[in-house]
Amino acid sequence: MSTDKGKELGEGSSRTGPAAADQQQPAQLSRYESQKRRDWNTFGQYLKNQRPPVAMAQCNYNHVLDFLRYLDQFGKTKVHLQGCVFFGQPEPPGPCTCPLRQAWGSLDALIGRLRAAYEENGGLPETNPFASGAIRVYLREVRDSQAKARGIPYKKKKKKRNQMKASDNTASSSLMQPS
């Protein structure tokens, strides 16, 4: 490898051997970036398979809601129906015929990735169908119904930053108090 090539790549000196080859290869995508790309491609394929096919530019929140409902058939979370004997029990003692659904947390994370991917692929934030209020309402309803079906009320977790500040304050106040 010549020094001109090394400088062209932004390196200060020329390199040879395996280290130089590693530098020329594209960086591995993070797990999040890989999931985001896969989700974006899956949603695009879903739109293409609609009759008639839907262009991404014509996509709206109704298509997103239909996609989320479509994904339920691949879910692994048992959601007990209102009439089920196990409705409201966090750990039911036996099997039942209630449907499997996508877990709320999975859907919430999926929407977050698709929302980011939409804008990264040229969509405007103002027209982002994944950021629609209807999507937030749907996710809230899924969260609440799944929590009720399991008998576990949903409680929003505090952000870690606030928890760290609280533990810092506790630690510093205990240091200041005489024993």
Does 42 fall in a domain? yes
Does 163 fall in a domain? no
Q: Using CA atoms of 7, 9, 15, 20 in order, give the dihedral in degrees to the nearest 10.
A: 180
Contact 68, 42 (CB under 8 A): no
Return the number of other C-beta atoms located less than 10 Å from residue 143's C-beta.
17
Q: Which domain holds residue 134?
A: 29-154
DSSP 86: T
Does 177 fall in a domain? no
Q: Which pLDDT score is estimated for 10?
A: 38
Does 44 fall in a domain? yes
Q: Nearest 5°: phi and psi at 101?
A: -135, 170
Supply angle C-alpha 173, 176, 177, rounded to 5: 90
Bridge partner list, 78: 100
Q: Is the pLDDT of residue 88 over 90?
A: no
Does 43 fall in a domain? yes
Residues 12-27: what's their mean pLDDT?
Answer: 52
Q: 146-158: string of b/e by CB count within 10 Å (b at 16+)?
A: bebbbeeeeeeee
14 vs 68, residue with greater confidence: 68
Q: Which pLDDT score is estimated for 15?
A: 45
Does 139 fall in a domain? yes
Residues 28-57: what's their mean pLDDT?
Answer: 94
Distance (Å, whole) CA 37 – CA 71? 17
Q: Which pLDDT score is estimated for 25?
A: 56
Distance (Å, whole) CA 33 – CA 41? 12
* pLDDT class of 36 with cuts at 50, 70, 90: very high
DSSP 98: P
Q: Which pLDDT score is estimated for 35?
A: 96
pLDDT in tens, 118-167: 999 999 999 999 999 999 999 999 999 888 887 766 566 677 665 555 55
Residue 108 is part of a domain; what is its CATH number?
Answer: 1.10.150
58-67, 103-112, 113-122, 148-157: the lowest-pLDDT one: 148-157
Does 14 fall in a domain? no
5 vs 42, residue with greater confidence: 42
State the total domains in the chain.
Answer: 1
Q: Is the pLDDT of residue 1 over 70?
A: no
Does 20 fall in a domain? no
